[in-house]
A and B are shown apart, each in its own frame.
Chain A
Amino acid sequence: MTSTLLRRLGPPLLGGLVAFALMSPANAAEELRIGFVAPTTGIFAQVGKDMVDGFQLYLDDVKSDFGGAKVKFIVEDEQGKPDTAVTRAKKLILQDKVHMLVGGLLASSGYALAPVSSAEKTVYVVPVSAADDLTQRDLPKYPYLVRTGWSSSQPSHPFGQWACDQGYKKIAAIGADYAFGYEVIGGFQRAFEACGGQIIQKIWPPLGTKDFGPYIPTIRQDADAIFTLMVGPMSLQFPKQLAAAGNKKPVIGGGTSYDEFVLPSMGDEVIGHVSALQYSAALETPKNEAFVKKYRAKYGKVPSYYSETNYTSAQMIHEVIKNNKGTFPGAEAFVQQLAALKLDTIRGPVSIDEMRNPVQNIYIKKVEKKKMFGYGKDELWNTVIKTYPNVSQFGQFNKDEFLKTPVYSRDFPPCKFCN
């Protein structure tokens, strides 16, 4: 009996031992697995592509070698839905065993992915999702989160000051009806009203609106200017429909309303529109010119801020891994080191504040039609007309007082002048 047993069990046992020996985990320093969550299908697919391309361009520049570690870049499709983002993130963490999670597009995706990073004790690097509270009131809940992009209201604070300096007194705001819209417009309102301006109207078309017919006629005629916050397909349609309705007022807006992801598809109706963001493809620095040329040659389009922020995030991750001689120092140490970084990047000097959000330049940019960087054709570019250096997520406001007030929402700041 025993001999039969041995004969039966022998081969599989031996095979098992061999397999076990071969399976012993490779040196952790050799491979750095980065899980990337972006919408590669669905209505934000183009944005998702820019996100992936930006990160990938950096990887190609350094041949996927981060100071000795070989980067394995795994991209998962979140389809622009927070639900799906969570499932994909879990797959990346549980199945692919990634060292860190990067990405998420919408603010709602950011709010959905952050708890996953805490629960699974995995680093979450946020290049795009701009939800304010991720690095403000909710920060203690997310010890593994570091933002390398921006917070929604960050550009709005200096922008509000700029609007006062232009002499605008009354502004009507219209923005997408979700967290990102509330925060961009809220930040602008706080800053604009702090220097004497008045927001006299706030209109909120649902995210994804294409027909602004119901909303445009309700814009108050006594406004000096219109502030718009549009994303995705809305950015394309709104200025057109606004111009067709006969608008003559100056138009200013959030950075995503005129970002390069949509600018090439826009027409002359947006010339003269002003917005604020931490990046513009028309930034006239040698670093940016090289980046734009390289990106355009490879992907056939001018890089958007989505491309730049992912490129820079990859660069920052590289810095940290390089400082650890090509090994991943563990989640807590990685977060600490990333948060202590100061780097000169394509968008300018970037450092991370004590609440793990970048401190960086904010550029006020105006849409102009011209030739740039030696390209032959006249095209639409976001020309930088003013730079505010060293802007943190709290802008010109005191951090503690800021945090005592609630997060920007539909009703905060309250619309005192909306009669």
Chain B
Amino acid sequence: MRSQHIKVLIVVAALAAIAIIVPNTNSFVILLTTRALAFSILVMSLDILLGYTGLPSLGQAAYLGVGAYVTAILATRYQFGLGYDFWLVVALGILLAAALAAIFGLLAIRATGVYFLMITLALGQCIWGLAYRWNSLTGGDNGINLRARPKFGIDLADEVTFFYLVFGLFALSLLLMYTLVRSPFGQSLAGIRERELRMKILGYNTWLHKYIAFIVAGGFGGLSGVLWAHTAGIVSPENVVLTTSVDALLMAVLGGAGTLVGGIIGAIIVFGLREYLSTLVPWWQYVLGAVYVLTILYLPTGLMGIPERIRRRRALSGSRKAIKNIAPAAS
């Protein structure tokens, strides 16, 4: 469809704009954008579950946690992952997070709707509990400080270089996820979201579809965690606390569930408000809360859903006009 191509072009143009403009702003903006990009990989992974499969998860932060802690522990305790082996850590982060999702998925996938919400909350809390109290492994409340960023030919300690790395991985994740949701597998996921019963009758193994989506989402969450560890320079139980999962969920809804790019939009808005606005005015938290409430009330399809709503309204008024022309007395 042409509209689809236009959408893709707009997204590509926007991404190109970010890649060109941001490195020329001041270091703090670069830092913030890097953070938003790293976190938005998690938000997009949540969107696969929420927007495309219809599974609202309140425990995605657990996978970010796995990726982040693996990175931090390997870097500080075993001096591993600070050279070319950084890429091994990336792979490891993704695999371990996906493995955790595989285990958790066995427990969670049978549930739907609010029950799924609750069970993912419980599972997320399990990981938080471990991060918080398993002092010997995770450093507990103190967290783990990553002293330096990896160096392999390029020095990631440089903010701009690091920005490009995170941006590149973000763009790659977006591309992979986009390919996934446009594939037949992705379309069946959408079918499950709309009418699971019908899909079952048609012979689809809906459990398996959901399970795989869950594992894929977990894997991307792990990638997000690896990048987050190096962006923030410190990993602590705060990364896996309930409010982090809630944040991701709200960002996905704010940007627009089921749009993938909604994730980065939501992330940029929330991070921007939280980090930038907070330094300008003291009542920024009200703005954030109000934004959430208003979006949920009046803009349930999020910001990316606005063009769709406009189109629908136009189509509706168009068809009304058509009806008026055909049957002026009846309307």
Contacts and interface: CB of A to CB of B under 8 A. Distances in A.
- When A and B assemble into the complex, do they touch directly, with CB atoms less than 8 Å apart? yes
Interface residues of A, number: 25
B83 interface: no
Nearest to B275: A87
Contact of B141 (A77, A141, A206, A410): A206
Interface stretch (B26-34, B59-67, B86-94, B316-324): B26-34
A111 B238 CA distance: 16
A91 B141 CA distance: 24
B27 A177 contact: no
A124 to B, nearest CB: 15
B232 A86 contact: yes
Interface stretch (B132-140, B180-188, B300-308): B132-140
Contacts of B142: 82, 107-108, 111, 178-179
B236 A83 contact: yes
B232 A115 contact: no
Contacts of B132: 206
Interface residues of B, number: 24
A229 to B, nearest CB: 14
A143 to B, nearest CB: 15
A112 interface: yes
Interface string B231-273: 0111010110000000000000000000000000000000000
B278 interface: yes
B140 A177 contact: yes
B145 A112 contact: yes
Contacts of B141: 108, 177-178, 206-207
A94 interface: yes
B236 A94 contact: no
B279 interface: yes
Nearest to A207: B141
A284 to B, nearest CB: 38
A95 interface: yes
A83 B239 contact: yes
A65 interface: no
A14 interface: no
B313 interface: no
B31 A90 contact: yes
A115 B147 contact: yes
Contacts of A116: 233
B140 A95 contact: no
Given A86-B232, A95-B27, A81 B238 contact: yes
Interface string A87-98: 100110011000
A18 interface: no
Interface in A205-220: 206-207
A76 B279 CA distance: 8
Contacts, number: 65
A83 B234 contact: yes
A134 to B, nearest CB: 12
Interface string A392-418: 000000000000000000100000000
Contact of A410 (B28, B135, B238, B279): B135
Interface of B: 26-28, 31, 35, 132-133, 135, 140-143, 145, 147, 157, 232-234, 236, 238-239, 275, 278-279
B278 A90 contact: no
A82 B279 CA distance: 18
Contacts of B27: 90, 94-95
Given A86-B232, A94-B28, A177-B135, 6 more contacts: A83-B239, A90-B27, A94-B26, A95-B28, A115-B145, A115-B147
Interface in A66-84: 76-77, 81-83
Contacts of B145: 111-112, 115
Interface string A169-188: 00000000111000000000
A111 B26 CA distance: 26
A214 to B, nearest CB: 13
A124 B141 CA distance: 23
A107 B140 CA distance: 13
Nearest to A41: B285
A94 B232 CA distance: 15
A77 B279 CA distance: 9
Contacts of B26: 94-95
List the 9 closest pairs (A to B, CB-CB), nearest first.
A94-B27, A95-B28, A108-B142, A94-B28, A178-B141, A112-B234, A91-B28, A207-B141, A81-B238
Given A115-B233, A177-B140, A177-B141, A83 B238 contact: yes
A91 B279 contact: yes
Interface string A108-121: 10011001100100
Contacts of B35: 87
Contacts of A119: 157
B318 to A, nearest CB: 43
B225 to A, nearest CB: 13
Contacts of A107: 142
B287 to A, nearest CB: 15
A81 B238 CA distance: 8
A173 B140 CA distance: 20
Contacts of B278: 77
A87 B31 CA distance: 9
Contacts of A90: 27-28, 31
Contacts of A112: 143, 145, 233-234
B133 A206 contact: yes
B28 to A, nearest CB: 4
Contacts of B157: 119
B145 to A, nearest CB: 6
A179 B74 CA distance: 21
Nearest to B35: A87
B102 to A, nearest CB: 29
Contacts of A77: 278
A7 B140 CA distance: 65
Most buried by B among A82, A90, A94, A111: A82
21 contacts: A76-B279, A77-B278, A81-B238, A82-B234, A83-B232, A86-B232, A86-B234, A90-B28, A90-B31, A91-B279, A94-B28, A95-B26, A107-B142, A108-B141, A115-B145, A115-B147, A178-B141, A178-B142, A206-B132, A206-B141, A410-B135
A87 B135 CA distance: 24
Contacts of A111: 142, 145
